[in-house]
A and B are shown apart, each in its own frame.
Chain A
Amino acid sequence: MTKLQAKNIVKHFDHNGNSVLALDGINLNVEEGDFICIVGPSGCGKSTFLNIVAGLETPDSGEILLNGNKISTPGPDRTMVFQEGALFPWLKVIDNVEFGLKMAGIPKDERRQISERYLDMMQLTKFADSYIYQLSTGMKQRVAIARALAMDPEILLMDEPFAALDFQTRDLLLVELQLIWERTKKTIIFVTHNISESVILGNRVVVFKNRPAKIKKEFVIDYRRPRLAEDENLQKYYHQILEELKSEVMARIKDENL
């Protein structure tokens, strides 16, 4: 069943008074239970696309359908894990996880039950009463994931959530995220500029062209899970995608030097 449909999404940016085309007609069908990774050179517009899906930005034309219904505002059915976590420093870890549930008007006891379950899933139970600054970057991202999952969204949006992590932590989270995906059967859209991340996580990998962004090619990665970063069988996918992406990254660098 089609969970989410992006129809011909176009978006312009205002850059020093000039209108720059950022997204040039993105069409994407996300099936229920998909784990889609979007890769592209940094600054190509993939985060913009994700923001549009989240309802945080509006497209100039085109529409997003969730379960066949058009969406235009942000909503808890599409929760986002941001690159910097975007956790609230004035709340304890557990209150951060419960934030969305509180906004939804869920009673305290029930909130506590749900948040404790996800804190446990992310191995954060011991840190429930900590404040955000007391956590490492990896723990912060785990809280952010727990917070997003606690909302039980239709679709989970992840915007380069592991970009700021060290390699060891990232490798651990790459495995954890696959396990969570298998356990919860969530539909996930995961944006990254890191090819190996996309190969490890995605069952579909969508390559974005450099600005103006369009979908250049899509790969299906049919390989057993959990996939590990050091698995050499993933290399062939990696190289196929790299081949597609190389020219786009070069184009991006050229753009930036102009």
Chain B
Amino acid sequence: MSKKIISKKTSHGSFDDAANAALFLAVFIGVWQVVFMLGIWPKISLPSPLMVAESFVKIIWNHSLPVSIGVTLARLVAAFAISISLGTLIGLAMIKFKGFGKTLSSFSAGLLSFPSIAWVPFSILLIGFNDFGILFVVVMSSIFSIMISTYSSIRNIPPIYLDAAKNMGAKGFYLFRHVTIPAATPSLIIGIRQAWSFAWHAIIGAEILMSIVGLGHILSVGRDFLDMGQVIASMITIFAIGLLVDRLLLFKLDERVRRKWGLDHHR
């Protein structure tokens, strides 16, 4: 019974949310149009919303946008897969070898706040001006987040869960698979969301500086040709993809786990 009421409330809530978002966008575009008409900046520096829409049509029509999105996402998926698998392994090693974990986690603030763009010169000299160089930057920018979150999520599991599980005969891999992983999941998801946002920062930065194709690249081409329409259209695409991936994948996952655990029942 309570379930029904809750789902009703959320569906109502998401309708409100969508309406609010639409209203916000309308106001934003309206203000933009007004500023454009005031003519403070020349058209070439600040085009109108309609001119940006035309740029959109242009870069979709000449295929540069779809190709860029495809390339960028492919790189991102590859790099993120490496980050997650390698980061999780290292995080587990940090748990297993306590001294190693303690040492590495004492560097975590430095590693996590390290700007992704600062890896670019290093990567260009080490690996070169190519896809692998970009992957390297993205992996380095997101892997620490995965490592540290794996480490701390598992360490922060309430000991009572492990005690209860051991008490019921769970040990070894079973304990890990059926208790450690699920107990750490809500916090692991937060780490993955953070890593995703770091990876997204990194790939656009790396593509602006080191690529001849991709979303970051069409952004910098826009600048090279003084095409502000293309710059803004690329920026909007980057914003939209960042938002969509988080909302459709990671947020959904987070929400599902939170609902199961009853974590949204705080008042």
Contact = CB atoms under 8 A, between A and B. Distances in A.
Interface of A: 54-56, 74-76, 78-80, 82, 84, 86-91, 99-100, 102-104, 131-134, 147, 151
A99 B168 contact: yes
Interface string B224-267: 00000000000000000000000000000000010011100100
A161 to B, nearest CB: 13
Q: Which of B161, B165, B169, B179 has the most CB of A within 10 A?
A: B169
B170 interface: yes
20 contacts: A56-B163, A56-B166, A76-B167, A76-B168, A76-B169, A78-B167, A79-B167, A82-B160, A82-B163, A86-B160, A86-B164, A89-B262, A90-B182, A90-B185, A90-B260, A91-B182, A99-B165, A100-B170, A103-B168, A131-B262
B167 A103 contact: no
Contacts of A131: 260-262
Interface in B154-181: 160-161, 163-170, 174, 178-179
Contacts, number: 71
Nearest to B179: A88
A132 B165 contact: no
Contacts of B163: 56, 74, 80, 82, 86
B36 to A, nearest CB: 51
B183 to A, nearest CB: 7
Given A131-B261, A133-B262, A134-B262, A86 B169 contact: no
B182 A133 contact: no
Q: Which of B166, B168, B170, B257 has the most CB of A within 10 A?
A: B168
A103 B262 contact: no
Nearest to A84: B160
A90 B183 contact: yes
A56 B179 CA distance: 17
Interface in B1-39: 2
A91 to B, nearest CB: 8
Given A90-B185, A134-B2, A80 B178 contact: no
Contact of B167 (A56, A90, A91): A56
A10 to B, nearest CB: 22
Of B178, B182, B257, the most chain A CB neighbours within 10 A belong to B178
